[in-house]
């Protein structure tokens, strides 16, 4: 059975994390993704740190199942090649702040002339209109302005940035969902449309129940770290050799800890009482948990069907039996030789087994796309390859 998005061609004009994540998800689901890069490559290619034969760890994380085409959109040959590609494609994704794509001749209105049924997804920091539309936006800016960071801290401690780039990554997921919805509608109506996603909106959407809690008169919820506002006990606790996370577990945890008297204490008999006396109750639990190792507690908790998990570091996640059984650590042969390991796609579809292509090297597929897909002869290919303006688009969003 063919992949769900087989036959869909996507032009990826993005950089950073949000846009590339969206395109990568769609590539995992079978779409043909052509990543159009400026000469010199997109921003994540030049990030310092670990690399595979010179390919940045950051670029490798978000760009599998794509082909790389180098075009300078500030030149006429580069724009012409883009227009020819858009003419035979279904989706374009961009992730620059409003105005940048218009200056490059790659905005929605311009590309619509070359493909009236085009789906165009734009990812920005604050939106395409409004008082803050002109501002740049990266992950930490969306998390801060959208209220997420105010809730990510221990009481009395500074706000924390959600790691690793959670707002950017979630923006990519929302963008992919919007594109799939637009493709579904296009199958029925034959019409394309514009899909708009911004980091601010994504951050606000993740506030979830905190918004109705506030608007219904509950006030502004204060940061609780890993604890829950109205479920006690709950959160992370130190053990003898690490940390353990507990979900809803009352009153069974009292039995496991050998502290049955806690369940009989009138202070802890109701939810309201446990919240009021949180420090006393969780203080006893914390003291008991520090007496044994994480694995010992996990065995006891599992026997009582208590929701609990170790607070794993990345090395343990990569080696974990369940994680690997779920196919979430992909080992991909790279075109430069050797293999790279990256996080997989959590979407599992019956009768579809993805065989991921490695993230492309810069311009790896330029000649293939220009000759085989666009039908350019050698002279025209050289014209596109040699067209260099020396200009680069503005910074992300």
Supply the residues annotated as catalytic.
168
In three-state secondary structure terms, 234 is: coil
In three-state secondary structure terms, 337 is: coil
The DSSP bridge partners found for residue 244 are 237, 310
Contact (Cβ atoms closer than 8 angstroms) between residue 36 and residue 82: yes
C-alpha span between 376 and 382 (Å, rounded): 10
Across the chain, how many H-helices and E-strands are there? 18, 13
Q: Please report the DSSP string for 86-126 in residue order.
A: HHT-SEEEE-B-TTHHHHTT-SHHHHHHH-TT-EEEEEESS
Helix, strand, coil fractions of the chain, as percent rounded to 5: 40, 15, 45
Q: Where are the alpha helices (DSSP H) in 198-267?
A: 199-205, 210-213, 252-256, 261-264
The H or E element containing residue 366 is: helix 366-368
The DSSP output letter for 396 is B
Contact (Cβ atoms closer than 8 angstroms) between residue 32 and residue 43: no
* Closest C-alpha to 183, from 120, 123, 128, 124: 120
Contact (Cβ atoms closer than 8 angstroms) between residue 154 and residue 225: yes
Contact (Cβ atoms closer than 8 angstroms) between residue 14 and residue 175: no
C-alpha span between 51 and 55 (Å, rounded): 5
Contact (Cβ atoms closer than 8 angstroms) between residue 224 and residue 155: yes
Strands 119-124 vs 91-94: parallel, antiparallel or unpaired: parallel
Other C-beta atoms closer than 10 Å to the C-beta of 245 total 15
C-alpha span between 35 and 317 (Å, rounded): 30
């Amino acid at each position: 059975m063919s992949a769900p998005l087989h036959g869909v061609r996507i032009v990826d004009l993005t950089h950073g994390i949000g846009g590339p994540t969206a395109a990568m998800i769609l590539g995992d689901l079978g779409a043909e993704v052509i990543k159009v890069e400026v000469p010199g490559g997109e921003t994540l290619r030049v990030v310092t740190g670990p690399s595979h034969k010179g390919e940045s760890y950051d670029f490798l994380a978000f760009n599998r199942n794509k082909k790389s085409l180098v075009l300078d959109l500030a030149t006429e040959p580069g724009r012409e090649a883009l227009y020819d590609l858009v003419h035979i494609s279904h989706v374009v994704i961009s992730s620059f702040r409003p105005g940048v794509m218009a200056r490059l001749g790659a905005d929605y209105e311009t590309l619509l002339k070359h493909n009236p049924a085009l789906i165009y997804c734009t990812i920005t920091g604050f939106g395409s209109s409004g008082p803050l539309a002109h501002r740049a936006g990266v992950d930490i800016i969306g998390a801060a302005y959208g209220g997420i960071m105010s809730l990510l801290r221990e009481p009395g401690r500074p706000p924390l940035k959600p790691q690793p780039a959670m707002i950017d990554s979630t923006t990519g997921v929302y963008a992919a969902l919007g594109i799939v919805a637009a493709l579904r509608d296009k199958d029925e109506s034959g019409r394309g449309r514009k899909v708009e996603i911004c980091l601010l909106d994504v951050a606000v959407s993740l506030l979830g129940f905190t918004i109705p809690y506030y608007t219904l008169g509950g006030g502004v919820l204060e940061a609780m770290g890993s604890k829950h506002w109205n479920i006690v006990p709950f959160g992370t606790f130190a053990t003898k050799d690490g940390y353990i996370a507990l979900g809803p577990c009352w009153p069974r945890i009292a039995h496991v800890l050998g502290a049955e008297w806690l369940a009989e204490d009138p202070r802890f008999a109701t939810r309201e009482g446990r919240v009021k006396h949180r420090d006393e109750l969780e203080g006893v639990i914390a003291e008991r948990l520090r007496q044994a190792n994480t694995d010992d507690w996990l065995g006891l908790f599992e026997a009582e069907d208590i929701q609990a998990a170790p607070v794993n570091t990345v090395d343990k996640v990569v080696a974990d039996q369940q994680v690997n059984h779920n196919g979430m650590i992909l080992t991909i042969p790279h075109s430069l030789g050797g293999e790279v390991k990256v996080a997989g796609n959590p979407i599992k579809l019956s009768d579809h087994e993805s065989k991921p292509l490695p993230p492309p090297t810069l311009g790896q597929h330029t000649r293939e796309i220009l000759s085989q897909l666009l039908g350019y002869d050698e002279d025209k290919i050289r014209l596109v390859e040699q067209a260099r303006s020396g200009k680069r688009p503005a910074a992300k969003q």
